[in-house]
């Protein structure tokens, strides 16, 4: 054990915890009573029907294998592969998120550069920011009249704030010295923005983008449960209505995996723009 690095030891420990956890879960699930062991009275009283219960991990592994071996099948509105459902969710998240970035980053730049703009916009930001994105849903549905676009709007409105605030904060916090370097080199406003302020503020901006994508992925599940039709959130709710807890648990895990991958992508971007002073 001593010869292993910290990472290797941590990996071993993770695997042990996973195996022990799954075994405990497997053992804790009460066995379904077999119909042959029941008295005639119990059978007449319906005791032989399978009772709804939390499925054991072995069932979930089997379901995961089934779903992941054919993720993109499409057998009608209520029976699509997990890949298609996640694809819809990612499409909505990225569309709403990119629209938010297109507005939040330039606007954040403006707010960060101008104390007047900051003071003027701050009250609006402070009131709008704490609103749960789902609270916008009825209004969005009424105005936009389209459930798909409403879901995208909800993603847009929830991911705009961290990006806006972090961009403004990052731009306002750019060291005076670096701006002075730009000034003494007679850089124009646009070149100062792109060659000095943007790289200087990039780590803060990307942190905001990373927070936003995390929130957007949290919100899309709830939004899709409301609007229905497609997406991983709708899939979870649909399986709940089918009382298929195995699928529910499997999709919960998939939501976690996709969220982790999105976060890892922005983590890589963060490392790319990071600099040490």
Partner 1 sequence: MSNTFLSIERLTQIFPDGAGGTLTVFENASFGIEKGEFVCILGHSGCGKSTIMNILAGLAEPTSGVVKMDGFEVSGPSLDRGVVFQNYSLLPWLSALKNVTFGIKARHPDWSKDRVEAHAREFLAKVGLEGEVVHRKPSQLSGGMRQRVSIARAFANEPKLLLLDEPFGALDALTRGTIQEELLKIWRGTNQTVFMITHDIDEAILLSDRILLMTNGPHARVAESVDITIPRPRNRTEIVEHPNYYAIRNHLVHFLGERSKALAGKASGGETQSPATVRIDRTAPSATEEDAEGERRLRAVND
What long-range pairs does 247-253 form, CB within 8 A, spacing at least 24?
Answer: 247/63, 247/67, 249/55, 249/60, 250/60, 250/63, 250/64, 250/67, 250/82, 251/82, 251/85, 253/60, 253/64
Rounded CA separation 69/253 (Å) = 16
Provide, rounded to whole angstroms, the least separation between the CB of residue 186 and partner 1: 5
Provide, rounded to whole angstroms, the least separation between the CB of residue 206 and partner 1: 13
Binding mask of the shown chain, residues 138 to 177, with x at each position contacting partner 1 by CB under 8 A: ---------------------------------------x
- Under the binding rule (CB under 8 A), the answer on residue 114 touching partner 1 is no
Choice from 164, 196, 205, 206 touching partner 1 (CB under 8 A): 196
- Under the binding rule (CB under 8 A), the answer on residue 197 touching partner 1 is no
Kindly tell me which of 178 and 240 has the beta carbon lying closer to partner 1. Answer: 178
- Under the binding rule (CB under 8 A), the answer on residue 270 touching partner 1 is no
Choice from 95, 114, 195, 270 touching partner 1 (CB under 8 A): 195
Query: Residues touching partner 1: how many (CB under 8 A)?
Result: 18
- Under the binding rule (CB under 8 A), the answer on residue 181 touching partner 1 is yes
- Under the binding rule (CB under 8 A), the answer on residue 9 touching partner 1 is no
Choice from 141, 155, 163, 200 touching partner 1 (CB under 8 A): 200
- Under the binding rule (CB under 8 A), the answer on residue 75 touching partner 1 is no
- Under the binding rule (CB under 8 A), the answer on residue 243 touching partner 1 is no
- Under the binding rule (CB under 8 A), the answer on residue 269 touching partner 1 is no
- Under the binding rule (CB under 8 A), the answer on residue 74 touching partner 1 is no
Residues that bind partner 1 (CB under 8 A): 177-178, 180-181, 183-187, 195-196, 199-200, 202, 273, 275-277
């Amino acid at each position: 054990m001593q010869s292993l690095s910290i990472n290797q030891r941590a990996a071993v420990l993770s695997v042990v915890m996973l195996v022990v956890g799954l075994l405990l879960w497997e053992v804790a699930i009460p066995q379904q009573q077999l119909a042959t062991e029941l008295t005639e009275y119990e059978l007449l009283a319906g005791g032989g029907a399978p009772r709804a219960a939390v499925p054991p991990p072995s069932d979930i592994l089997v379901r995961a294998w089934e779903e992941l071996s054919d993720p993109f099948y499409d057998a009608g509105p209520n029976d699509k592969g997990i890949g298609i459902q996640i694809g819809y969710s990612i499409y909505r998240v990225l569309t709403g998120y990119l629209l938010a970035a297109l507005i939040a980053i330039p606007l954040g730049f403006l707010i960060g550069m101008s104390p007047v703009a900051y003071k003027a916009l701050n009250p609006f930001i402070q009131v709008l920011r704490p609103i749960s994105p789902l609270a916008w849903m009825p209004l969005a549905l009424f105005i936009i009249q389209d459930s798909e676009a409403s879901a995208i709007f909800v993603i847009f409105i929830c991911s705009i704030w961290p990006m806006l605030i972090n961009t403004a904060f990052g731009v306002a916090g750019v060291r005076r010295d670096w701006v002075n370097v730009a000034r003494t080199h007679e850089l124009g406003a646009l070149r100062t923005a792109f060659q000095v302020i943007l790289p200087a503020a990039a780590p803060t901006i990307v942190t905001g983008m990373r927070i936003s994508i995390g929130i957007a992925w949290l919100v899309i599940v709830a939004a899709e449960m409301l609007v229905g039709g497609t997406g991983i959130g709708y899939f979870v709710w649909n399986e709940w209505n089918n009382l298929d807890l195995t699928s529910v648990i499997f999709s919960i895990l998939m939501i976690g995996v996709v969220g982790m991958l999105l976060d890892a992508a922005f983590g890589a971007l963060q490392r790319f723009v990071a600099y040490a002073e």
